[in-house]
Amino acid sequence: MVRELVEKVYILNMEQLVKKLAEKAKVYANIPMLSHTHGQNATPTTVGKEFSIFVYRLNKILNKLKQEKMAGKFNGTVGNFNAHVIAYPNIDWIKIAREFVESFGLEYNMYTTQIETHDNLCMIFSEIKLLNNILLDFDNDMWMYISRNYFIQKNIQGEVGSSVMPHKINPINFENSMANSKMANGIISVFIDNLQISRMQRDLSDSSILRNIGSVIAYSIIAIKQSIIGLNKLEVNKEHLKKELDETPEVLAEAVQTILRKNNYENAYETLKGLTRGKNISLNVIREFVKNLEINERDKEKLIELTPEKYIGLAEKLAKNN
């Protein structure tokens, strides 16, 4: 039952989300965006590249999850075939048990107590927890991007944007997804911390815990579906992204100091730090600074023509290749 729940329900839903993210990554591949490290303005990226990161991360864990197998046992009350052997001593019980368990598509666990030890089950749910954490990370990013006006949320007819402030459209789907991911992971943590532990040859604590498997998958699927709904409501605010990039020419300091290092310029980092750190400078200030540098003319021309919008490296290519 758990195997079919994971394979035919959970994985299929997660694949739908990954497909949606991959589509968005390609559509947004060439839309430049200011990035933020430590909450501060940083080297530009593209919207699509940031989406492709989550496609890669989710696929990596999802592929591991697809390879995991549920385990099964068929070896008697404490795992020794005691009653089997006393009744039918001439039968190869280990061979029969293996064939029987594997006929259900399960991995045969030969060494158990009264219960299957749940190690495989905990590995499966550990990977679901990792997937939920990645989704939670994505939801948090989307919440932040919406708050910074990087995305515009569509006005859905009949939907309450805010309970008391009519002008607002709250990112409710991503918030809902976060809550459900956390609920699922809270229960999974109980699984992992308890299911592998059974006093001596068995106690009954695992039986009550296992009854929450359906809840974990349900919370996880609600989280996935809410993120997909949230994504379908969004449009990239290209004008705002461009305006923000135009207003942050200081992010080109990385490019300038790198070219200075290439030209064996002494104290390259410190020089750019003095010019740009904590200052509201214009693109013209940077260009005038570059014009007076004694560096290779081709490098100088490249820097003079550079804008934050163009300073995206291989972001577009990376977004399209994933």
Percent of the chain's residues with pLDDT above 70: 96
Q: What is the mean pLDDT of the chain?
A: 91
What is the model's pLDDT at position 232?
95
What is the model's pLDDT at position 163?
57
What is the model's pLDDT at position 164?
59
> Tens of pLDDT along 267-284?
877 887 778 777 778 999
Indicate whether 175 pLDDT > 70: yes
Catalytic residue, from 35, 36, 38, 163: name it.
38
Query: What domains can be seen in the chain, in order of their start residue?
Result: 2-73+112-238 (1.20.200.10), 248-321 (1.10.40.30)
Higher per-residue pLDDT: 168 or 257:
257
Higher per-residue pLDDT: 235 or 116:
235
What is the model's pLDDT at position 214?
94
Q: Quickly state the pLDDT bin for 10 (edges 50, 70, 90).
A: very high
What is the model's pLDDT at position 95?
97
HEC per residue, 142-177: HHHHHHCCCEEECCCCCCCCCCCCCCCCCCHHHHHH
Does residue 36 have an active-site annotation?
no
Catalytic residue, from 52, 118, 162, 220: name it.
162
What is the model's pLDDT at position 171?
84
What is the model's pLDDT at position 299?
92
Long-range pairs for 21-26 at CB < 8 Å and ≥24 separation? 21/51, 21/52, 21/54, 21/55, 21/58, 21/138, 21/231, 22/51, 22/52, 22/55, 22/322, 24/48, 24/51, 24/231, 25/49, 25/51, 25/52, 25/55, 25/319, 25/320, 25/322, 26/319, 26/320
Does residue 118 have an active-site annotation?
no
Q: Quickly state the pLDDT bin for 178 (edges 50, 70, 90).
A: very high
> Tens of pLDDT along 254-268?
899 899 888 988 887
> Tens of pLDDT along 11-60?
999 999 999 999 999 999 999 999 999 999 999 999 999 999 999 999 99
Average pLDDT over residues 154-176: 69
What is the model's pLDDT at position 161?
55
pTM for the predicted model, two decimal places: 0.89
Indicate whether 156 pLDDT > 70: no
